[in-house]
Amino acid sequence: MELFDRPDAGPAAWMSADRAAVLLRDPGREEEMLALIAAAGVAPPRPGARTADGRIPDGEVEARELPAVVGRLLEAGVDVLARGARVRRGGRASLRVKSRLDWFDLEADVDFEGATAL
C-alpha cells in the first residue's frame, strides 16, 4: 500500500501487505542503488516483458550472466535473495572419502559466509 503520495516522486512511504511495517523511502539512496544494480549488469526490462506470474519485471539479466551479476552485487554489499533465501558466497570446501572393498562414503563441508552446508 502506498502512503503519502507525492506527485513529483511517487509515494514517500510503503506499508507492508500485513500492515506490520512502514518503509520510509530515501530517493537519494534509491538512485544510488539503481546505479549500482545497473553497473552490476542488470538491464531495464524490455518493453512488454512479464514475469512467469504476469508482473512487469524490475530488471533483466541473461541467464549466462547471472552468476557474475550476483557476484558483483554481493561484492558491493547488496543482499541478494533467491526464492526468499539470502544468497551467500561459497568459501572453503573440504571433502573426505572413506573406502572399503566394495563401497565408499563421500562427505563434504562447504562454508558459505560462516554458514556450513554438510
Q: What is the pLDDT of residues 21-50, one digit of tens each?
A: 888 888 888 889 989 999 999 999 899 999
What was the pLDDT predicted at 1?
43
| The pLDDT of residue 68 is above 90 | yes
Cα-based torsion angle of the residue sequence 83, 88, 90, 96 in order, rounded to the nearest 10 degrees: -70
Closest to 2 in 3D by CA, of 26, 22, 27, 28: 22
Residue-wise pLDDT for 43-62, tens only, equals: 998 999 998 889 888 889 99
Q: Is 77 in a helix, a strand, or coil?
A: coil
Predicted TM-score (pTM) of this structure? 0.60
